[in-house]
Structure 1
Amino acid sequence: MGLDRIDRRILALLQDDGRMTNVDLAERVGLTAPPCLRRVRSLEQAGVIRGYHAECDAASLGYPITVFAMVSLRSQAEHDLATFERHVAEIPEVRECHMLNGEIDFILKIVAADLESFQRILTTHLTAAPNVASVKSSLTIRTAKSSPGVPIEAGAE
């Protein structure tokens, strides 16, 4: 899908504030409300906008611990990779799962209520999972930057 300057501006604004009203959005991009809404709907239908969500504070909701786990599998056959992906999709505390190239097959972002809870996730769900060769984990000390979405250049076409 070809994106013009207005589409990119719409995306940047919605990425910063997904609750912005269509009227406010239209005003900020220099359109009237109906064509702005058509553009947003078109971006949604094309899959450029995949959804809207609230960004919640994990610690406030009882998950002050964030851990990154690097998982190596015994086999990298497509079936085994897909099986692992389905397995971690069922673990609510696993918030992100990315397949990597190199020595590590997957990196997981995991939230936990405390270290004991993380250990339980690790031993019950990860190291015990079929085909898992090893799991190396790193506890997050602090987060210096967390920017959801992607950088959008408004001038690019």
Structure 2
Amino acid sequence: MPATVDHFTEQVRRLPEIVECHFMAGESDFLLRIVAADLAAYRRFQVEHLTRIKGVQNVKTEVPMEKIKLTSELPL
């Protein structure tokens, strides 16, 4: 598995549409934040890039409907 993870992370670093990548504990291996012009552009990116990375078995997409809060301020 380490070789698969290394290959995936190398590919992710090359794709400017991916602005965040987190290695996760739990059900999914990675959480990605992807920027696309619209859903059609995201779908093209998914088909042409994400699903073609060796080792990717499935992709789960969740689309936010409304931004409730977004901050980088830490409550310290």
Within 2, Cα distance between the matches of 1:102 and 1:139? 20
Question: CA offset at residue 152 of structure 1?
Answer: 5.3
Which residue does 2:48 correspond to in 1? 124
Using the size of structure 2 for normalisation, the TM-score is 0.89
Bigger relative contact order (CA 8 A; separation at least 6): 1
Aligned counterparts, 1:31-70, within 5 A: none
Match of 1:82 in 2: 6
Structure 1 residue 93, shift from structure 2 partner: 1.1
Separation in 1, partners of 2:67, 2:75: 22
Query: Tell me, what secondary structure is at the counterpart of 2:40?
Result: helix
> Hey, what does 1:112 align to over in structure 2?
36
Letter matched to residue 34 of structure 2: I
> In the TM superposition, what is the alpha-carbon distance from 1:121 to its structure 2 partner?
0.8
Paired residue for 1:141?
Answer: 65
Where do 5+ consecutive residues of structure 2 fail to align? none
Partner of 1:100: 24
Q: Aligned pairs, how many?
A: 76
What is the identity, as a one-letter code, of the residue corresponding to 1:84?
F
**Amino-acid identity (%):** 34
Over residues 36-83 of structure 1, what are the superposed CA-to-partner deviations in whole Å (9 max), with x where a residue is unaligned? xxxxxxxxxxxxxxxxxxxxxxxxxxxxxxxxxxxxxxxxx1221121
Greater helix share, structure number: 1
Cα distance in 1 for partners of 2:72, 2:36 equals: 20
Which one has the bigger strand percentage? Answer: 1
Cα deviation, residue 88, structure 1: 1.0
SS in 1 for 2:71: coil
Per the TM alignment, residue 148 of structure 1 is displaced from its structure 2 partner at its CA by: 2.4
Shift >3 Å, 4+ stretches: none
Determine the C-alpha separation between the residues in 2 that align with 1:138 and 1:99.
Answer: 17
| Aligned-partner Cα distance in 1 for 2:53–2:20 | 17
**Residues in 1 aligned to 2:72 and 2:7: alpha-carbon distance in whole angstroms:** 27
